[in-house]
Amino acid sequence: MAEGIKDKVAIIGTGCTKFGELWNKSESDLILEAFLEALDNANIEKKDIDAAWFSSCFDEVNVGKSSLPLANALKLPFIPVSRVENFCASGTESFRAACYAVASGACDVALAIGSEKLKDIGYAGLPDFGTALGTENRLTSSNLTAPGSFAMLANSYFNKYNLTEEAGRNILAHISVKSHQNGILSPKSHLKKKITVEDVLKAPVIARPLGLFDCCGVSDGAACAIIVPADKAKDYRKDPIYVKALQISVSPGEEAGYQGWDGTYIPTTVIAAERAYREAGIKNPRKDIDLIQVHDCFSITEMVTYEDLMISERGKSREDIESGFFELDGKMPCQTDGGLKCFGHPIGASGLRMIYEIFKQLQGNADKRQINNPHIGLTHNLGGFSNTSIVSVAIFGNKL
Amino acid sequence: MPSIMIVSQEDVMRGIVSYHCYIPWYRLDRKAIYEQLGWFNKAGVALAKGEKSVANQDEDAVTMAVSSSAGCIEDGTKKNINCFYMASTSFPFTVRQNAVIASKALNLPTSIRTADFGGSTKSGTTALLTALDSTSNKTSLVCASESRIAKPGSVEEYTYGDGAASLLVGSEDVIAEFKGSYSISHDFVDYRRVSGERFSHSWEERWIREEGYEKLFLSAIEGLLKKYNIEIKNFKKIAVAYPNTRSLRKLAKTLGATEEQIQDNYLSNIGDTGAAMPLMMLAEALETAKPGDKILMISYGSGCDALYFQVTDKIENIKRGYKGVSKYLKFKNELNIYSKYLVFRNLLPIDIGIRGESVFPTSMNVLWRKEEEVLSLMGSKCKVCETPQYPKQRVCINPDCGAIDQMEDYLFSDKKGKLFSFTGDNLAFSYDPPQIYGTVDFEKGGRIPLDLTDCIIDSLTVGTPVSLSFRKKYSDIQRGYFGYFWKAIPENKKEEE
């Protein structure tokens, strides 16, 4: 097996804008804001950056295609810049490219930055998938949306584990209540509202069985990270955060077209997690990991991810949800910043926003939401649909 | 001297080989129209009785033609079909042949003749006569299908109903022999619509009834009786596509026909199905016909076609009782919201929102490249591991196989399956929210994510049996295009039939 990325690169600075319905900010404004915070945080200058990767997804409503919008917004001085896109996992994709570039020795200081300006489309939810799925697929693909795709995951899960719609929704409600509690403590989160299980259950149905509070917000935002070789990281700051694993798994299409998958889990998460644990040397994820930031685009996604990451036993995440295992004061806090649920999901930025939170937590800089002395954190970034997906799992540590 | 064998038309028996009807799921109580528009036109009260069939928002004359025709050729006769004729006065396309869309959905061979027959409600029987009159022993599938719109509150809005009927015509296994016909053609302008108009114009009802229906039907029937020297009492059933029940009784009386002889025209519970009505009535007559029965069929519109059939012994060989109109009278769902009917037929400029407006252009060359995949639901099956797959693949989707270029064509449209999962989505744009969709696991293998239709979300569970139906997938009004594809329908609805 290849050596992997473990302890080869480190993050020395991160930036993140406030997420929300930022009607009066352009995507360039958001990019600049996140970037300036990261420069300040890393205590470097723009000229120190050797290469940059830019992640964004819906180019139709964003700054458009290519890397030019990033290079232009920041006036990056003729350095290599690339745009990457991998649906909702795009954020981790720019990070991955920057890490590999640094690990290869191709550059010393790399920037990964992601942004999305979703609220310029004029309607709720994500932009219609019209062209995102391709001109061929749209002739035959069902008229689906993201909540609908994951609602099907919920229905399959409820069916397999004999949960009535009511019982299933009740369990899921606890996930959203927990995230909202954490979101209130995050200065940069979009939704800062305390909610109850009852609020979740009474909210309008978006895609049955998922209601409004089972869905993450839709927001504008940008986030970024600056990466250097691990052995040089301490030259920049005393508390860099090291990359322990960086894995991605992409569906070959068999879940959607072959009668093998049972529809109650995300195989790409399982595979990416297995590889990441191997890369990071994690034997027992339930004990070895201190906090996780998962891709909670929908409450059901978070629930299934607990199991796919092999933290909860298959079919038994319910017990961990009910015991408070993933709450801020629980054994393994999840979505310490409020997650996609409260930050919303500016596609190209979300993966980097998760990394931003892990970075702060592992440094002990997470203010009111700081958990007790964490050493290992994990991010899980999922793109695509329940039946055809792209999953990145990254693991970080504050020690070499 | 070489001898040429000449088979005259009289020597070849031509007739009906098979039949099937289709009535859409929705019914609108006519009182619902009167409740909304009776204040404007009080005369509507006389028409506000019974119900009319209403095509679902994803149905049109083409999709209903596919639904009725699929039943007509379910025994696998499609390979022998030489012609496919479709008749309607409510074709969705003026240019782009409607018949050919339906023929592709039915996966009929490419080497067939297809044609649209339109212009009058007589077009259904004219298409049928074209098939029957063929001098060679061609097998033709004839379908008449209507989803007509009328001005809100008009007489026609009350009376029109949606539906389709298909007849397979040939020279072998004929269940009803074609004995002859008599046609009359007149420029009797009761209804007219010039190109580009959405609605028809009509003349005074009383004039249409007295000078049109009453005289022209009679003239055609008398012409046929005289031509073949036969009496009205010799007919077991008389299928007069009369868009008025009271006048139909009057005509029967004039002809000296008994009530039993007159075939129901289903005006009260389905409505006036235009070009489809005479075919539908013939189909229903065949449901209970016995060998030797004579059936008279008459259409109306710019004149009349009268056709005369005699049922053969072969009728005993086909399964009947579910191919006519009757079964659909039980299988229905009440629409009962008049505004929903208006939206379904695009008669109300409802706010569809920006998501609803964001229809991306259809690439015609992609559609051409994928003609069979999109219209026929043709997938592929791996010759190595026998896994059916859709869309067509070159690399086998089975993770334990992965064979490359070992595929053969595999048709999914006639296969049944079970719901793997599903949802009702209120975010996705639909003219009938929530948009219901799911994934279907097919009985003989293969899994396809599909939209669902003709169902309510509460009736679905994981494992619900489904079959497939050809439907309109999206409307691109701005660019003048309807996209068609296949949707899943719960089977439990069929069991109730």
* Mean pLDDT over the full length of chain A: 96
Q: Give per-residue pLDDT as tens, A96-135.
A: 999 999 999 999 999 999 999 999 888 888 888 766 777 7
The token pair that represents A223 in the structure block: 């986030």
Q: Average pLDDT in the B275-279 region? A: 98
Same-domain check for residues B93 and B211: yes
Which of A122, A145, A256 lies nearest to residue B447, judging by beta carbons? A256
Could you say which of B288, B321, B344 is where a domain stops?
A: B344
Expressed in percent and rounded to 5, the helix, strand and coil fractions of chain A are 40, 20, 40
pLDDT of residue A1: 66
Same-domain check for residues B421 and B325: no
In terms of Cβ atoms closer than 10 Å to its own Cβ (0-12, 13-18, 19+), residue A57 is buried
Could you say which of B321, B344, B367 is where a domain stops?
A: B344
User: Does a cis peptide bond (omega within 30 degrees of 0) precede residue A187?
Assistant: no
Please check whether residue B128 lies inside any domain of the structure.
Answer: yes
* Mean pLDDT over the full length of chain B: 93
Which ranges of B295-351 would DSSP assign to H, the alpha helix? 326-330, 338-344
Whether B173 has a pLDDT exceeding 90, the answer reads yes
Distance, in Å, from the CA atom of A343 to the CA atom of A220, rounded to the nearest integer, reads 9
Catalytic residue among A174, A190, A295, A345: A345
Q: Where are the beta strands (DSSP E) in B8-131?
A: 15-22, 26-29, 51-54, 81-87, 113-117
pLDDT of residue B470: 98
Among A139, A216, A147, which residue's Cα sits nearest to residue B424? A147
Distance, in Å, from the CA atom of B308 to the CA atom of B294, rounded to the nearest integer, reads 7
Same-domain check for residues B105 and B246: yes
Please check whether residue B398 lies inside any domain of the structure.
Answer: no
pLDDT of residue B11: 66
List of residues 6+ apart from A269 with CB closer than 8 A: A249, A304, A305, A308, A309, A380, A382, A389, A391, A393
Query: Which CATH number do you get for residue B241?
Result: 3.40.47.10
pLDDT of residue B10: 55
Distance, in Å, from the CA atom of B397 to the CA atom of A379, rounded to the nearest integer, reads 30
User: Does a cis peptide bond (omega within 30 degrees of 0) precede residue A209?
Assistant: yes
Q: Give per-residue pLDDT as tens, B36-84.
A: 999 999 989 999 999 999 999 999 999 999 999 999 998 776 668 999 9
Closest-approach residue (CA) in chain B for A138: B362
Among A235, A219, A168, which residue's Cα sits nearest to residue A197? A168
Please check whether residue B394 lies inside any domain of the structure.
Answer: no
Q: Average pLDDT in the B195-203 region? A: 94
Query: Which CATH number do you get for residue B475?
Result: 2.40.50
pLDDT of residue B3: 46
Q: How far is CA B456 from the centre of its chain?
A: 23
CB A300 within 8 A of CB A153: yes
Same-domain check for residues B315 and B366: no
pLDDT of residue B134: 81
Round to the nearest angstrom and report the end-to-end CA distance of chain A: 21
CB A156 within 8 A of CB B420: yes
Same-domain check for residues B366 and B248: no
The one-letter amino acid at B165: A
Q: Give per-residue pLDDT as tens, A66-94.
A: 999 999 999 999 999 999 999 999 999 99
Whether B496 has a pLDDT exceeding 60, the answer reads no
Distance, in Å, from the CA atom of A208 to the CA atom of A340, rounded to the nearest integer, reads 20
Instruction: Please provide the CATH number assigned to the domain covering A142-217+243-397.
Output: 3.40.47.10
pLDDT of residue A62: 74
The percent of residues above 70 in pLDDT, for chain B, comes to 96
Q: Do A142 and B450 touch (CB under 8 A)?
A: yes
Q: List chain A residues with CB under 8 Å of B355.
A: 123, 125, 128
Specify the residue for token string 């008994």. Answer: B258
Q: Which range of residues forms the domain containing residue B434?
A: 353-377+412-495
User: Does a cis peptide bond (omega within 30 degrees of 0) precede residue A333?
Assistant: no
Please check whether residue B106 lies inside any domain of the structure.
Answer: yes
Distance, in Å, from the CA atom of B295 to the CA atom of B181, rounded to the nearest integer, reads 12
Report in angstroms the alpha-carbon separations of B402 from A251, A252, B394, B408.
Answer: 14, 11, 9, 15
Same-domain check for residues B269 and B183: yes
Q: Give how many domains chain B has, as a whole number.
A: 2
Same-domain check for residues B267 and B135: yes
Band the pLDDT of B497: cuts 50, 70, 90.
Answer: very low
Whether A321 has a pLDDT exceeding 70, the answer reads yes
Q: Average pLDDT in the A131-142 region? A: 83
Please check whether residue B8 lies inside any domain of the structure.
Answer: no
Distance, in Å, from the CA atom of A85 to the CA atom of A114, rounded to the nearest integer, reads 10
Band the pLDDT of B492: cuts 50, 70, 90.
Answer: low
Q: What is the full DSSP assignment across B126-186? A: HHHHHHHT-SS--EEEEEEEE-----TTSHHHHHB--EEEEEEEESSS-SEEEEEEEEEE-
Dihedrals phi, psi of B353, to nearest 5 degrees: 75, 165
Return the CATH class of domain A9-121+223-232. Answer: alpha beta
Distance, in Å, from the CA atom of A382 to the CA atom of A80, rounded to the nearest integer, reads 27
Same-domain check for residues B473 and B419: yes
Among A52, A68, A65, A57, which residue's Cα sits nearest to residue A113? A52
pLDDT of residue B6: 47
CA of B437 vs chain A CAs: smallest distance (Å): 7
In terms of Cβ atoms closer than 10 Å to its own Cβ (0-12, 13-18, 19+), residue B33 is buried
Same-domain check for residues B87 and B193: yes
Q: Give per-residue pLDDT as tens, B72-127.
A: 998 776 668 999 999 999 999 999 999 999 999 999 999 999 999 999 999 999 99
Specify the residue for token string 């009702």. Answer: B424
Same-domain check for residues B62 and B86: yes
> Which of 220-259 (A) contact B at CB < 8 A?
252-254, 256-259
Report in angstroms the alpha-carbon separations of A229 from A107, A279, B465.
Answer: 9, 18, 57
Distance, in Å, from the CA atom of B342 to the CA atom of A186, rounded to the nearest integer, reads 49
pLDDT of residue B215: 95
Same-domain check for residues B135 and B233: yes
Contact of A130 with chain B, judged by CB distance below 8 Å, is answered with yes
Q: Average pLDDT in the B275-283 region? A: 98
Catalytic residue among A16, A57, A88, A99: A88
Contact of A164 with chain B, judged by CB distance below 8 Å, is answered with no
CB B335 within 8 A of CB B271: no
Helix-then-strand count for chain B, H and E: 15, 22
The residue count for chain B:
497
Which ranges of B208-265 would DSSP assign to H, the alpha helix? 214-227, 245-255
Whether B396 has a pLDDT exceeding 90, the answer reads yes
Q: Do A131 and B360 touch (CB under 8 A)?
A: yes
Which of A140, A207, A253 lies nearest to residue B485, judging by beta carbons? A140
Q: Do A257 and B424 touch (CB under 8 A)?
A: no
Q: Do B447 and A258 touch (CB under 8 A)?
A: yes
DSSP single-letter state for residue A162: T
In terms of Cβ atoms closer than 10 Å to its own Cβ (0-12, 13-18, 19+), residue B93 is middle
CB half-sphere exposure, A310, CA atoms < 13 A: 19
Which of A207, A256, A263 lies nearest to residue B427, judging by beta carbons? A207
Dihedrals phi, psi of A116, to nearest 5 degrees: -155, 140
Distance, in Å, from the CA atom of A69 to the CA atom of A59, rounded to the nearest integer, reads 11
Distance, in Å, from the CA atom of B489 to the CA atom of A240, rounded to the nearest integer, reads 57
Q: Give per-residue pLDDT as tens, B126-144.
A: 999 999 998 777 899 999 9
Q: Give per-residue pLDDT as tens, B402-434.
A: 999 999 999 999 999 999 999 999 999 999 999
Dihedrals phi, psi of B15, to nearest 5 degrees: 175, -170
Q: Do B462 and A148 touch (CB under 8 A)?
A: no
Same-domain check for residues B281 and B422: no
Low-confidence winner among A57-61, A135-139, A208-212, B480-484 (lowest mean pLDDT): A57-61
Would residue A345 show up in a list of annotated catalytic residues for this protein? yes
The token pair that represents A191 in the structure block: 């939704």
CA of A302 vs chain B CAs: smallest distance (Å): 19
Closest-approach residue (CA) in chain B for A260: B398
Count of beta carbons in the 10 Å neighbourhood of residue A82: 16
CB half-sphere exposure, A321, CA atoms < 13 A: 25
Which of B366, B429, B446 lies nearest to residue A139, judging by beta carbons? B366
Q: Where are the domains of chain A?
A: 9-121+223-232, 142-217+243-397
pTM of the complete model beyond 0.90: yes
Whether B5 has a pLDDT exceeding 60, the answer reads no
Dihedrals phi, psi of B88, to nearest 5 degrees: -170, 160
